[in-house]
Amino acid sequence: MRTQRLSFREAALKSGLLTAEQIDAVLQRLASQDQPVPGSDPQVSDAALSSELVDCGLLTSYQSMQLQEGKIKFRLKDYRIVDFIGKGGMGQVFKAVHEIMGRDVAIKVLPRERCTPEAIENFEREARNQAGLDHPNLVRAYDAGHDGNVYFLVTEFVPGTDLRKFVRQQGILTESQAAHVIRQAAIGLEYAHRRGLIHRDVKPGNLLVTPGGVTKVSDLGLAGFIHESDQDPRAGRLVGTPDYISPEVVRNPKKISASSDIYSLGCTLYYAVTGKVPFPGGKTRDKIRRHLEADPWHPSRLNQDLSEEFVDMLGDMMEKDPALRIQSAAEVAQRMEPWAALGGPVVTQPARSRWLPPPFPTGEGLSDTADLDDSPSSGSGSQLSQGTYPLVSALEETDSTSMSSLFSQLSSEGDNSRARRKAVRRALFIAVPVSALLGVLLTLGFLWVAS
C-alpha cells in the first residue's frame, strides 16, 4: 500500500537535518517580513521556507530539492550528504561532510542493482588500491565500508572540474596549459607505477583539475597490481575506454604495463590540445581497430598553434609499439617541463548541471522516503559536477576467449620505425600550412580575374 509523500517540513524533521526549533525560528522571521492582508492565511509556503533555509546556510540546495521530493536519507554512518557530484561506470558520487571532523569528502556508492558478488569484490579492490597511495597528484582514499547493503568508498573531495568538461566548456588548452595538467598526471602515475599499480583507464574524465591548477588522477576502479594479476578475476579481460585504450592491451589483455597508461595519457593530451579524441566516430569495434592499425589526424590540422617539438613529444607518447614509446611516466613529466614553465596553470571553476540530481541510495531495509514510488524525478536543479560525470562509457568487460575471437580478425599493424613516424609527422607539419597558403593564393587569383 502506498503511503502519502511527506511534506517538506515533515521530511526535514524526519531526516534529522533540522530541528523543530530551527524551522520555527525561520518561519517567524519570514512571517515578520510579510504584511499579511486582514483575513488572509499567513502560512509560509514550503518553497519560501526551503529557499530561506538555504540562504541562511541550514540546508544545501541539494538537500532542499531532495526534501521537497520527500527524500529523508542524508546520512551514511558518520557522514552527512550535502551534494551530488556525478555518476561513473562503477557508481554514483556524492559530496559529504564528516560529522565530527567537519572535513569535506567525496563518497562513491555502488548502486543497489550492481551489488553482485563480483561487483562488490571489485569495489573493495578499488578501496584497497587507493588506500595504499598517498600523493598530491592522486585522489586519496579515507574510508570504506557498507551501511546495510550500501557499499561506499570515501575519498578526498576535489573541487574544480575534470579535463573533459573543461575542454568541452572552455575550449582546447594551450601547449603550456596542457603541459601543466599532463605533467602532474604523469607524476602521479609514476608514483603508482613504482608501486606496481597500473591505472588502466587514464582519460580526460579521470583527470581532476582544482581551481588552483592542481591535477589529480582519479577513479582507480579498473586499476590492478602487476604482481597480483593471477588473483584478479578481471585478468585477461579487456577493460578500459575505447577512445583511449592502448593497442597492446587489445592484442593481449592479460599483459598490463605502465606503458599502456602512457599511451592513454598521450591520447588524453591529444584531446586536450585538439578537442577531439584520436579516432572519433564509429562503433567500439571501429575505434579499437583504428588504435591497432591507423594513425590519427595530425594534431596541427586541428590546432595550428602546436609546435613541431610538442607534436613530436605527443607522437612519442602515442607510439603503437610499446618499445618505441616513451618508457616511463617520469620521462613524460620531464619532457613536459619546457612547456609547463612557459605559463601559469589551468584555472577551473566547478561546473554546474542543469538537471535534478538523484537521491542518496538506500540499502535493504532502509527507507529514504514515505512515498513508495521511488522513480526518478524530473525537473531542473544545480549540483556540483566533478570527477566522473559525465564520462565516456567504459568498455564492457568480456570473457578473454570471446575477446580473442573478436580481435583475431583485426590485423596488427606492421612494425614502423620511430624515424619513419617522425618523418611523416614532420611532412604533415609542413604540408598543412603550405596547403592553406596555396588555398589563399588561389582565392586571391580568382578574385583578381573576376575583377
DSSP for residue 451: -
Strand ranges across the sheet with 207-209: 161-162, 207-209, 215-217
Delineate the domains of the chain, giving CATH numbers in brackets: 1-157+352-384 (3.30.200.20), 161-348+393-429 (1.10.510.10)
3-state secondary structure of 3: coil
| The dihedral formed by the CA atoms of 411, 417, 422 and 424, expressed in degrees to the nearest 10 | -50
Give the model's pLDDT for residue 403.
42
Give the model's pLDDT for residue 234.
56
Give the model's pLDDT for residue 4.
77
Give the model's pLDDT for residue 29.
87
Give the model's pLDDT for residue 286.
94
Q: pTM of the full predicted structure?
A: 0.76
Give the model's pLDDT for residue 406.
46
Residue 201 annotated to the active site: yes
- Find the catalytic residue in 83, 162, 201, 243: 201
Residues 57-95 as b/e (b if ≥16 CB within 10 A, e otherwise) read ebbbbbbbbbbbbbbbbbbbeebbbbbbbbbbbbbbbbb
User: Residues of the chain whose pLDDT is less than 50?
Assistant: 1, 39-41, 227, 364-408, 411-418
Give the model's pLDDT for residue 161.
92
Distance CA 55, CA 5 (A): 25
